[in-house]
C-alpha cells in the first residue's frame, strides 16, 4: 500500500512539474540573418623562396640572399620588421651535392608597394615569389561591426514578421554568431603579370596590378521572445 502511494505521489509530482514547464514556455520567433561589407585590402603577404641546385656555375644561396636584400631595400621594405624566415635547408653549405633553399614571408601594407617589390625581385633575378594573401589588418574590428549590422537586420525582420500577426518582439533569448571566412582572392591581373613566366623576354607587358576588395561576412541566428 505504501509503495502504491509513493508511486502515485511520484506521478503527481512529475505531472505538476510538466504542467509548470508548459506554463513557463515562451513563444518566440527565430531569425537567421547575415550582413557583409567590401573593404580595400591593406595587408599583403608574399612568399619568397631562394634555392640553389647542386650544379656547377650555380648562383649560391648567399648571393641570392644579397640580391633579395638589394631588391627589398630598393623597394622601401624594412627587412627587420616585415620579413621573416619560414624555412631553410639543414645543410651547412660545405657539401656540394645538397639542394639548398631558404623560404621567407614578406608582409606589406600598401598595394602600390606590392608591384614595386615584384618588379625589384624580377630585376634582381628572383622569380620564385607568390602573393599568398590579400586581407585587412583590422579584420577583427570589421567583423564586429558587420556582426552588429547582422543583428540589427535580424531584429528588423523579426519585428516585421511579428507585426504582421499583431505581436511585438521582446528580448533576445538566444544569440548565435558565425564568422564566414573572408574572401581574399587576388585580382587576375596580379597572378598573370607577376609569376615566373613574366621573366621571359617575350612576355606580354601587363597593366598595373589590381586587387579585389575583401568581403567580410557575418551570420547570426537570434531567437526573440514574442509579447
Boundaries of every domain in the chain: 26-40+138-227, 43-135
Q: Read off the pLDDT of residues 145-195 as tens digits, 9 standing for 90 and up.
A: 999 999 999 999 999 999 999 999 999 999 999 887 776 655 433 443 444
224 Cα distance to chain centroid: 31
Same CATH topology for 26-40+138-227 and 43-135? no
CATH number for the region 43-135 comes to 3.30.70.120
Q: Would you state the pLDDT for residue 107?
A: 97
Q: Which three cell numbers stand for residue 4?
A: 502504491
Confirm whether pTM is higher than 0.85.
no
Q: Read off the pLDDT of residues 56-107 as tens digits, 9 standing for 90 and up.
A: 667 888 999 999 999 999 999 999 999 999 998 875 555 556 678 899 999 9
H or E stretch including 99? none
Q: What's the CA gap between 87 and 79, in Å, rounded?
A: 16
Q: How confident is the model at residue 12 (pLDDT cuts 50, 70, 90)?
A: very low
Q: Which residue has the cell 623576354?
A: 201
Q: What's the CA gap between 126 and 25, in Å, rounded?
A: 68
Q: Which of 24-38, 68-82, 206-220 has the lowest mean pLDDT?
A: 206-220
For the chain, what's the residue count? 227
Q: Would you state the pLDDT for residue 42?
A: 94
Residue range 26-40+138-227 in CATH 3.30.110.170: yes
Query: Residue 166 in 3-state DSSP?
Result: coil
Q: Is 81 exposed, middle or buried (0-12, 13-18, 19+ CB in 10 A)?
A: exposed
Amino acid at each position: 500500500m505504501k509503495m502504491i502511494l509513493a508511486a502515485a505521489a511520484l506521478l503527481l509530482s512529475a505531472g505538476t512539474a510538466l504542467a509548470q514547464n508548459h506554463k513557463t514556455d515562451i513563444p518566440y520567433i527565430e531569425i537567421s540573418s547575415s550582413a557583409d561589407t567590401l573593404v580595400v585590402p591593406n595587408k599583403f603577404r608574399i612568399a619568397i623562396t631562394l634555392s640553389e641546385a647542386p650544379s656547377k656555375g650555380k648562383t649560391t644561396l648567399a648571393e641570392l640572399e644579397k640580391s633579395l636584400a638589394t631588391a627589398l631595400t630598393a623597394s622601401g621594405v624594412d627587412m627587420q620588421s616585415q620579413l621573416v624566415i619560414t624555412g631553410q635547408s639543414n645543410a651547412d653549405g660545405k657539401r656540394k651535392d645538397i639542394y639548398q633553399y631558404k623560404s621567407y614571408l614578406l608582409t606589406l601594407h600598401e598595394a602600390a608597394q606590392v608591384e614595386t617589390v615584384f618588379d625589384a625581385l624580377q630585376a634582381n633575378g628572383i622569380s620564385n615569389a607568390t602573393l599568398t594573401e590579400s586581407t585587412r589588418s583590422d579584420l577583427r574590428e570589421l567583423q564586429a561591426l558587420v556582426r552588429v549590422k547582422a543583428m540589427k537586420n535580424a531584429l528588423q525582420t523579426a519585428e516585421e514578421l511579428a507585426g504582421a500577426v499583431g505581436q511585438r518582439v521582446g528580448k533576445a533569448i538566444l544569440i548565435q554568431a558565425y564568422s564566414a571566412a573572408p574572401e581574399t582572392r587576388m585580382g587576375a591581373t596580379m597572378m598573370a603579370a607577376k609569376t615566373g613566366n613574366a621573366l621571359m623576354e617575350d612576355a606580354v607587358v601587363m597593366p598595373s596590378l589590381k586587387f579585389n576588395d575583401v568581403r567580410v561576412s557575418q551570420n547570426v541566428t537570434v531567437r526573440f521572445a514574442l509579447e
